[in-house]
Amino acid sequence: MTQFFRSPSDKDKKLKKAVATLIGTRPSNVELYRLAFMHTSVSKPLNGKDVRLSNERLEYLGDAVLGMVVAEYLFKKYPYKDEGFLTEIRSRIVNRESLNLVARKLGLDTLVEYDPNRRTVLARTSMYGDALEAFVGAIYLDKGFQFTRKFILKRLLSSYFDLDKVVETNINYKSQIIEWAQREGRDLRFEVTEKGSARHKEFIAELMVDNEVFATGTGFNKKKAEQSASEKAIEKLNLVKPVS
């Protein structure tokens, strides 16, 4: 039987090689990457501490690094677009569905350690996208900001996002939620109110299902407020959103 047993150092070599291929250089601290691929389902308790050892802390860090680098990239790419546009496009890039997709394309799904008994539940979650964020966090701690910035720009943004397509795609949450209501035989309407002065108007849309407020959204105009409320309703209902 021992011939099938993989020693820790074999596993180490495999991980080191995979990371080196992904980031284009040898990792300095392979432990960081091992942690990045440790899903919470296989988390380990830390003696006498509240926190369990998993990739969730690295995911928090990587999410912030990714968000910042994408923010800067869009800021420079679109010098004549306002912050509403930049925020919207960033959220289309850095969202659960697209990060999951990119993580799979990078092959992170073969590196993530998780409890296979929980596979069916996990398959629908953001396990791989979360691991991608944790991976970015690990790269940042291992190699610093400029290296990570280049990795995000070259290996993620340029390789996997057709930005023109992302910008053109206009996800219509409102029509989706209306379809849902028709399917389910529910009464759906929007109640929109205005706030603020003439020059700084904000719109608040309440999405009413059977005469009760089901979700609320805000925006610069009525359409955006309704879109936002519809998006929240879709999340609340766990309806699948299309990948952008």
With the C-alpha atoms ordered 32, 37, 40, 42, is the resulting torsion angle positive or negative?
negative
Task: Choose the catalytic residue: 133, 142, 206, 226.
Answer: 133
Residue 104 in the binding site for a copy of itself (CB under 8 A): no
Identify residues 38-77 at the interface with a copy of itself (CB under 8 A).
Answer: 40-41, 46, 49-52, 56-57, 59-61, 63-65, 67-68, 71-72, 75
| 210 has catalytic annotation | no
Judged by CB under 8 A, does residue 170 bind a copy of itself? no
Helix 127-143 and helix 56-77: axis angle, to 10°?
A: 80
Counting Cα atoms < 13 Å in the Cβ hemisphere of 53 gives 11
The residue range among 5-13, 26-34, 82-90, 179-187 that interacts with a copy of itself, by the rule CB under 8 A, is 82-90
Smallest separation (angstroms) from a copy of itself to the CB of 95: 16
Residues annotated in the binding site, as ranges? 59, 130, 133
12 belongs to the catalytic site: no
Q: Which is nearer to a copy of itself, 89 or 108 (CB)?
A: 89
| Cα Dmax for the chain | 77
Task: State the nearest-atom distance from the C-beta of 21 to a copy of itself, in Å.
Answer: 26
Amino acid present at 244: S
Within 8 A by CB and 6+ apart from 118, the residues are 41
183 φ, ψ (degrees, to nearest 5) = -60, -40
Chain-centre distance for alpha carbon 207: 25
126-139 per-residue burial string, b: 16 or more CB within 10 A, e: under 16: bbbbbbbbbbbbbb
Of residues 210 through 229, those in contact with a copy of itself by CB under 8 A are: 212-216
Residues involved in catalysis: 63, 133
Where along the sequence are the contacts to a copy of itself (CB under 8 A)?
40-41, 46, 49-52, 56-57, 59-61, 63-65, 67-68, 71-72, 75, 80-83, 86-87, 118, 121, 140, 145-146, 149, 197, 199-200, 204, 212-216, 236
